[in-house]
Structure 1
């Protein structure tokens, strides 16, 4: 079997952070002048792309980097409370044992990710972690990682839970596996036409094995 490099998103894909992020966002609503997210609104937001969400919120574009920095800082205080997505640890371990190389590209902070992985005994599974401020996509970071690691696009697979993960992967010419257990709804993900769509971490094993 050809060795593959499987790069994961962090929030919503490996770590169950959706509730924590909504709570943090609501706590910052007054400071950044947007409405708090109700449970009804969350259903609506799950069906929107990143661009549509920020347009819906009415937050000026120049404020978004400051908001994201604040969110990551607040999340730092909740790392010890966060749990892995059920079944993801077992799937990651099996992927690693099958000879695949694993990495993470995330818009969360490297500090947050490393602490979460250490707390949950997952820090030995990943070869690299790359973090960057990515409002609408991760294409630039993906291309930088491909170049730095001297990776061929055909041997790389990205795994993520948002529509922007699909868009970024396509722009970087790498295959993308979308997962339905994170932020964006299945319907929203399908609209962006990912290479694969899965509903449980264990499905990763079969999909990766079948990718040439």
Structure 2
């Protein structure tokens, strides 16, 4: 029986691409790096520093992250919106007595600000972000499980990228891949279930009772 619903944020709850891409562009321009905006979409989801290591190298990655955060926390944080049906989904899960959690490669404070901005923070029992050496999605999810004494067999992870699916699979957690986010078909191959919209998620979960 599934009792715990774990959500990714970017590409699963929020259409976060504009703010993230604008912040990447700002940082890369500050570093004198040429880029293609289309090529930056692959960095929506992975840990931030890892993305800058790939673009700038190990020695310059931290400076790139600083520039990214300079833009993101001042402006990019709210250059986003939530997907149609997310609020209805949260209400349905809450009324169904499920516990709702967030596991994200974003920081915890910024994630809470986004959830609060859209009026859905109160639905979440716990937010696990990338602070304190939780530099992989597996570590973020594992931290959430341990801090809340959750059983993998009673939990399901919902995300849009391979990082979400693979991390949850490694922790023996069932998964729902959402096709409306920033992943592609190949990233969903190992998911337990696939949902094409937030409205389909509740139907999948209800069948797992």
TM range (shorter): 0.7 to 0.9
Could you list the runs of 5+ residues in structure 1 that have no partner in the other structure?
Answer: none
* Counterpart for residue 99 of structure 2: 101
Cα displacement string for residues 113-141 of structure 1 (whole angstroms, at most 9, x for unaligned residues): 22222221112111111111589731122
* Counterpart for residue 5 of structure 1: 4
Moved more, 115-124 or 129-138: 129-138
* Counterpart for residue 120 of structure 2: 122
Which of 74, 83, 90 does residue 92 from structure 1 map onto?
90
Is this contact kept in 2: 1:13–1:179, CA < 8 A?
yes
* Counterpart for residue 160 of structure 1: 159
Give the Å deviation of 1:61. 4.1
Could you list the runs of 5+ residues in structure 2 that have no partner in the other structure?
Answer: none
Cα displacement string for residues 1-25 of structure 1 (whole angstroms, at most 9, x for unaligned residues): x451011111121111012211211
Give the Å deviation of 1:35. 3.0
CA–CA separation in structure 1 for the residues paired with 2:186 and 2:15: 19
Aligned residues between the structures: 205
Is this contact kept in 2: 1:5–1:155, CA < 8 A?
yes
Give the Å deviation of 1:63. 4.5
Pairwise CA RMSD: 3.0
CA–CA separation in structure 1 for the residues paired with 2:7 and 2:161: 12
Give the Å deviation of 1:164. 0.8
* Counterpart for residue 68 of structure 2: 71
Calculate the TM-score normalised by the size of structure 2.
0.83
Give the direction of change, closer, same or farther, for the CA distance of 1:81–1:54 in structure 2 (3 Å limit).
closer
Cα displacement string for residues 119-177 of structure 1 (whole angstroms, at most 9, x for unaligned residues): 21112111111111589731122222212211111001111111111111111111111
Give the direction of change, closer, same or farther, for the CA distance of 1:67–1:103 in structure 2 (3 Å limit).
farther
CA–CA separation in structure 2 for the residues paired with 1:35 and 1:135: 30
CA–CA separation in structure 1 for the residues paired with 2:151 and 2:53: 38
